[in-house]
Amino acid sequence: MGDDVYVVGHKSPDTDTVVSAIVYAKIKGYIPVIQGAINEETAFVLDKFGVPVPGELGSAEGKKLVLVDHNEATQAPDNLDKAEIVEIIDHHKMNFNYPDPIAIHIEPVGSTATILAKLYQDEVSKDKALAGLLLGALLSDTVIFKSPTTTEEDKRVASQLAEVAGIADIEAFGIDVKKSKANISDKPIKDVVLADFKDFDFGGKKVGIGQTEVVDINDVYNRASEIMDFLKDTKTKEGYEMLIFVATDIIKEGSELYYAGDKAKLEAAFNTTVGDDSVWIDGLMSRKKQVVPVIDKQF
Ligand code: MG
Ligand code: MG
Ligand code: MG
Q: Distance, CA 46 to ligand 3 centroid (Å)?
A: 16
Q: Do both 57 and 156 map to the same domain?
A: yes
Whole-angstrom Cα distance, residue 53 to residue 41? 12
Q: Which residues contact 292 (CB under 8 A, 6 or more apart)?
A: 93, 200, 209
Whole-angstrom Cα distance, residue 183 to residue 164? 30
What ligand has the least distance to the C-alpha of 13? 1
What ligand has the least distance to the C-alpha of 112? 2
Please indicate, yes or no, if residue 242 is contained in any of the structural domains: yes
Q: Do both 166 and 34 map to the same domain?
A: yes
Please indicate, yes or no, if residue 15 is contained in any of the structural domains: yes
What ligand has the least distance to the C-alpha of 108? 2
From the centroid of its chain, how far is CA 71? 12
Whole-angstrom Cα distance, residue 35 to residue 255? 27
| pLDDT (tens digit per residue) in 8-57 | 999 999 999 999 999 999 999 999 999 999 999 999 999 999 999 999 99
Say whether 183 sits in a helix, a strand or coil: coil
What share of residues in the chain are helix, strand, coil (percent, to 5)?
Answer: 40, 20, 40
Above pLDDT 70, what percent of the chain? 99
Is pLDDT at 1 greater than 60 in this prediction?
no
Question: What pLDDT score was predicted for residue 181?
Answer: 79
What ligand has the least distance to the C-alpha of 17? 1
Say whether 239 sits in a helix, a strand or coil: coil
Q: Distance, CA 196 to ligand 3 centroid (Å)?
A: 7
- Residues with Cβ–ion distance below 5 A, ligand 2: 16, 69, 111-112, 141
Q: Do both 193 and 233 map to the same domain?
A: yes
Q: Distance, CA 273 to ligand 2 centroid (Å)?
A: 30
User: CATH code at 278?
Assistant: 3.10.310.20
Q: How many CB atoms lie within 10 A of CB 104?
A: 15
- Residues with Cβ–ion distance below 5 A, ligand 3: 14, 141
pTM exceeds cut of 0.75: yes
The count of domains in the chain is 2
182 and 213 Cβ atoms separated by less than 8 Å: yes
Q: Distance, CA 298 to ligand 1 centroid (Å)?
A: 24
Is pLDDT at 287 greater than 80 in this prediction?
yes
Q: Do both 147 and 214 map to the same domain?
A: no
Please indicate, yes or no, if residue 184 is contained in any of the structural domains: no
Question: Which of 94, 86, 142, 98 has its CA nearest to residue 117?
Answer: 142
Please indicate, yes or no, if residue 93 is contained in any of the structural domains: yes
Is pLDDT at 298 greater than 90 in this prediction?
yes
| Helix or strand (DSSP H, E) at 208 | strand 205-214
**Which of 16-25, 111-120, 139-148, 172-181 is predicted with the least confidence, judged by mean pLDDT?**
172-181
Give the domain extent around 292. 189-298
Q: How many CB atoms lie within 10 A of CB 70?
A: 25
What ligand has the least distance to the C-alpha of 116? 2
User: CATH code at 72?
Assistant: 3.90.1640.10
| pLDDT (tens digit per residue) in 152-171 | 999 999 999 999 999 999 99
What ligand has the least distance to the C-alpha of 75? 1
Q: Do both 161 and 17 map to the same domain?
A: yes
Q: Do both 19 and 156 map to the same domain?
A: yes
Is pLDDT at 182 greater than 90 in this prediction?
no
From the centroid of its chain, how far is CA 63? 23
Q: Which of 139, 155, 179 is the last residue of a domain?
A: 179
- Kindly provide the b/e burial profile for residues 226-258, where b requires at least 16 CB atoms within 10 angstroms of the residue's own CB: ebbebbeebbeeeebbbbbbbbbbbeeebbbbb
> Using 50, 70 and 90 to split pLDDT, how confident is the model at 146?
very high
Q: Which residues contact 188 (CB under 8 A, 6 or more apart)?
A: none
Q: Do both 67 and 130 map to the same domain?
A: yes
89 and 116 Cβ atoms separated by less than 8 Å: yes
| pLDDT (tens digit per residue) in 248-273 | 999 899 999 999 999 999 999 999 99
Q: Do both 165 and 194 map to the same domain?
A: no
Question: What pLDDT score was predicted for residue 95?
Answer: 86
Say whether 189 sits in a helix, a strand or coil: helix
Q: Do both 85 and 104 map to the same domain?
A: yes
Q: Do both 142 and 278 map to the same domain?
A: no
Q: Distance, CA 19 to ligand 3 centroid (Å)?
A: 12
Q: Do both 233 and 138 map to the same domain?
A: no
Whole-angstrom Cα distance, residue 105 to residue 169? 31
Q: Output the average pLDDT for the chain.
A: 95
Question: What pLDDT score was predicted for residue 215?
Answer: 85
Q: Distance, CA 180 to ligand 3 centroid (Å)?
A: 15
- Residues with Cβ–ion distance below 5 A, ligand 1: 14, 16-17, 69
250 and 215 Cβ atoms separated by less than 8 Å: yes
Q: Do both 193 and 244 map to the same domain?
A: yes
What ligand has the least distance to the C-alpha of 90? 2
